[in-house]
Amino acid sequence: MSLKNLISPEQRRKKLKTILLKNGFARIIETHNGLSGLIGNDACINLENGDCLEFDGLWESSFTDSASKGHPDAEIIGPDSRLHSIEEIMNVTNKPMIVDGDTGGEATQFEYFCSKLERFGVSAVIIEDKIFPKRNSLEPGAKQELEDPDVFATKIWRGNKIALSQDFMIIARLESLIANKGIEDAISRARTYLRAGADGIMIHSKEREPRDVFRFAEEYTKLCDELGYRKPLVCVPTAYNRLTEQELVQRGFNIIIHANHLLRASYAAMQKVCKKILISGRSFEADLICAPVRDVFKTVGFMDVKEKDKVYNRMKTCAIIPDTHRLLDTALIEKCGDIPISAVELLDKSIIQRQAEVLNNAKIFNIYLVGGFGLEKITYRQIKKIINPQYDLNSPLHALFCAEEQMQDGFIMIYSDVLFYEKVISEVLQTQEDIVLIIDSTYPSRLDRLHKTRMELVIAKHQANNDHYRMLTPLTDMEIKMIGKRVSPDLATHEFTGIAYFSEQGADILKSVYHEAAQKYAGKKFHEAATFETASFTDIIQELIDLGYPLNVCEVNQGWQEIHNTHDYKHALESLQC
Ligand code: SPV
Ligand code: MG
């Protein structure tokens, strides 16, 4: 995932030396663009002991960079284009990178190239001692002209002088075996280059038989003894790849580069897919040999973008409060007057004002109150009022749908007689889910209240989580089987709090199910309601459940309270006073 692998150039540059110091060797994989960089960088085999087997770094190969651009590997692709590929890979990876610098060009050009690589955070550049423009080393019969060792040594020395940090390495690549000049020539050049300040030596060979590279490794050890220090020894075992990394390490190699395999793998796969599509006249058969689109999306970070969009969209979430009926409790009417529940005051603040303040603290600023009777008595300025022309039908569902236009970016539905803490709202806003109901798990301990008020009960597939009494518990993927006022109290596991969250997608689902039901159930019984026109919010939720839409729940066991009657009112006053 592209933003996942963030790292500073300094942190990355020193990683190669650190790995070499710690493990004695580094296993490097070729990459040629951002995607292959991501794949090589993040490849991991989970071992039984919990460790992850992975590559230690990346090789930005001249062969595969050129080939991925459709060009031969003959220093045709210039430094700007190479730097562009290098930057593309660096942008999305965090492992150390070794750059294949070809011949390095003329010494001044090489200085500039080095300074740019170092700035990017590249750990090492390997240059080969051939005359510009070089030819790839693997093709038999290709022209291979070696550079004068002193000219090449000067290039190394000048590149080294430009480097600002000790972490940036210039490794000299010996092409003596490729040009059939023998081991003695290779060792003599290695001596010259090390004396000029090379930070390592790479010996290259295109022979399947590793005899010469092994002999070179032995001679290299002697040379290092002679010089009194040892610099890392690098190999590219493309031709002699029956040998394992372990065998190469035993022979004295410190950096093992698998130099072209990701490009060759994609080349073979692309050819196969082209043939399959041509033969089948469609792409269906090719699907079997293609990665799923989603895997590619995941690797390049598209799923992260999607999740972030969801989070930022959530900031546009509004609250819709359907106020659906007049006060029913006579004692409460005597106390507060015949006003909508939203206007009932608790310690100098109306219920709607308390709701709005908590919602504002949870960063919800668009609050819509849908009402009818006494709506003019709501004077709190933070609230946008929507008139429900069918207020007298007492249908919370249709009241909610008076605010259908406001649902488009997602919303929280809150019953007008519910008080709640901010944590209840902020918790539900964290969700990645599309529809979440906040349900109370203390319901079984409140059975005594049932005869007084008809509660909206829930039967969840699992028992209520009462382990953490008086805690707000996180979202669960608990399935709801049934919801409503007529749910058997003995079977119910939770109580619906009157708070539900719908993401943008959740709101779309709700809207389409509502409109389909409006057609199908017009004038007919709709779950617990005598007709669709008098339906409750829980009736549409039951419809969603029956249609198999995934509903999530957030279990709470405190932090909210409904005010249905004087008893609730007094209880709310008491809790606000303490
Ligand atoms: C490359 O990968 O570009 C190399 C290694 O230089 S090789 O192709 O074996 O020469
Ligand atoms: Mg190369």
The domain boundary, picked from 245, 275, 300, lies at 300
- In sign, the C-alpha dihedral spanning 173, 240, 142, 176 is positive
Domain of residue 53, CATH code: 3.20.20.60
Q: Which is the closest atom of ligand 1 to the Cα of 65?
A: 3
Overall residue count recorded for the chain in this entry: 578
Q: Which is the closest atom of ligand 1 to the Cα of 126?
A: 6
* Environment class of 266 (CB within 10 Å of its CB; exposed 0-12, middle 13-18, buried 19+): middle
Bond into 444 cis (ω within 30): no
CA of 299 to the centre of ligand 2 (A): 27
Domain of residue 458, CATH code: 3.90.550.10
Tell the residue nearest (CA) to atom 2 of ligand 1: 61
The letter for the amino acid at 256 is: I
**Domain identity same for 275 and 388:** no
CA of 127 to the centre of ligand 2 (A): 9
Tell the residue nearest (CA) to atom 10 of ligand 1: 137
Q: Confirm whether 3 is domain-assigned.
A: no
pTM (two decimals): 0.70
How much is the pLDDT for 469?
A: 42
- In sign, the C-alpha dihedral spanning 409, 414, 419, 423 is negative
| Structural domain boundaries, residue 169 | 9-259
Asked if 186 contacts 177 with a C-beta cutoff of 8 angstroms, the reply is yes
- HEC profile of 376-393: HHCCCCCEEEEECCCHHH
- In sign, the C-alpha dihedral spanning 467, 469, 475, 476 is positive
What is the residue whose two structure tokens read 């990178």? 97
Q: Confirm whether 2 is domain-assigned.
A: no
**Domain identity same for 476 and 573:** yes
The domain boundary, picked from 276, 300, 324, lies at 300
**Domain identity same for 438 and 487:** yes
Virtual torsion, Cα 464, 465, 471, 475, nearest 10 deg = -90
Report CA-CA distances (Å) from 546 to 33, 182, 352, 362, 440.
49, 79, 33, 32, 22
Q: Rounded CA gap, 330 and 324, in Å?
A: 17
Q: Confirm whether 101 is domain-assigned.
A: yes
Select from 136, 175, 176, 202 the residue to mutate for testing ligand 1; criterion: most ligand atoms less than 8 Å from CB. 136
How much is the pLDDT for 405?
A: 97
pLDDT tens across the length of the chain (578 residues): 568 899 999 999 999 999 999 999 999 999 999 999 999 999 999 999 999 999 999 999 999 999 999 999 999 999 999 999 999 999 999 999 999 999 999 999 999 999 999 999 999 999 999 999 999 999 999 999 999 999 999 999 999 999 999 999 999 999 999 999 999 999 999 999 999 999 999 999 999 999 999 999 999 999 999 999 999 999 999 999 999 999 999 999 999 999 999 999 999 999 999 999 999 999 999 999 999 999 999 999 999 998 888 777 767 899 999 997 777 778 888 888 888 888 888 888 999 999 999 999 988 999 999 999 888 888 888 899 999 999 888 899 999 999 999 999 999 999 999 999 898 898 888 888 899 999 998 876 665 555 456 688 898 876 655 554 444 455 556 778 899 999 888 888 899 999 999 999 999 999 999 999 999 999 999 999 999 999 999 999 999 999 999 888 888 887 888 887 788 888 888 877 76
CA of 63 to the centre of ligand 2 (A): 5
What is the residue whose two structure tokens read 């007049």? 326
Q: Confirm whether 165 is domain-assigned.
A: yes
Select from 28, 36, 73, 143 the residue to mutate for testing ligand 1; criterion: most ligand atoms less than 8 Å from CB. 73
Task: Give the ligand with the smallest distance to the CA of 142.
Answer: 1
Q: Confirm whether 337 is domain-assigned.
A: yes
**Domain identity same for 413 and 347:** yes
**Domain identity same for 169 and 287:** no
Tokens standing for residue 283: 């792409």
**Domain identity same for 249 and 130:** yes
Q: Confirm whether 14 is domain-assigned.
A: yes
Q: How many domains does the chain have?
A: 3
**Domain identity same for 45 and 96:** yes
* Environment class of 422 (CB within 10 Å of its CB; exposed 0-12, middle 13-18, buried 19+): middle
CA of 18 to the centre of ligand 1 (A): 25
**Domain identity same for 275 and 394:** no
**Domain identity same for 519 and 417:** yes
CA of 236 to the centre of ligand 1 (A): 8
In whole angstroms, what separates CA 26 from the centre of its chain?
Answer: 28
Which protein residues are within 6 Å of ligand 1, measured from CB?
Answer: 61-63, 73, 100, 136-138, 236, 238, 259-260
**Domain identity same for 120 and 207:** yes
**Domain identity same for 471 and 491:** yes
Tokens standing for residue 319: 């609250």
Region for 24 from its dihedrals, namely left if φ exceeds 0, alpha if ψ lies in -120 to 50, beta otherwise:
left
How much is the pLDDT for 489?
A: 86
CA angle 480, 481, 483 (to 5 degrees): 80
| Residue 339 neighbours by CB distance under 10 Å | 18
Catalytic residue list contains 323: no
Q: Confirm whether 404 is domain-assigned.
A: yes
**Domain identity same for 225 and 362:** no
Q: Which is the closest atom of ligand 1 to the Cα of 136?
A: 10
Select from 134, 137, 143 the residue to mutate for testing ligand 1; criterion: most ligand atoms less than 8 Å from CB. 137
Q: Confirm whether 4 is domain-assigned.
A: no
